[in-house]
Amino acid sequence: ESGEGKQGHHVFERRRGIAGKAGADTLAKKRFDIITELYAEAVKEVAATPENWMAFLNSACRNYRLPFDEQLLVHVQRPDATAVLQMEDWNRKFGRWVKRDSKGIVVIDKNAKTMRLKHYFDISDTQEGRYRRLVRPVPLWEVGEKYRQDVQETLANAFGVSGERFCGNHTGGGGKRSR
């Protein structure tokens, strides 16, 4: 076989690699566009009714450290999410591993230099790792029963809304109404 044939094959492989990269870039752009569209629709949906807004707040309070846009995308994809982190953070910080076939919650990565998406996983998508010494408890925000009444009164006084309306949606307890 001549060297010319091998060289031609090499050029084909290089072109296929370039085409593959272009295809991957197109797919990434398509995914980015889908999430951007989902975000725009979610903004309208959440603002459409007081009930939708309260449902969003109920979801967002469990992931209060996230920026608003990420909270919104978590809400529309997994409104029941309790605690979300990226896979590496679950592994490193809590010794938890994301279960096989878990579906990530896609958000826009605003810290990246180029348009990029990142994936969060809820605690329900994880399991304790096999090395028990690396497993740490996951702190979930909740107002203890002992403080619930005081928190409800403070929120009601601060925002001019009855404690009944605030109870189940803002003071922890996983959305359960406490009266």
pLDDT at 22: 66
Residue with tokens 């998508």: 125
pLDDT-based confidence at 20, cuts 50/70/90? low
How far is it, in rounded angstroms, from Cα 137 to Cα 128? 10
Number of DSSP helices (H) and strands (E) in the chain, helices first: 6, 5
CA distance 19 to 11: 12
pLDDT, tens only, 110-154:
998 888 999 999 999 998 877 777 888 888 877 788 988 888 888
Partners of residue 97 on adjacent β-strands: 127
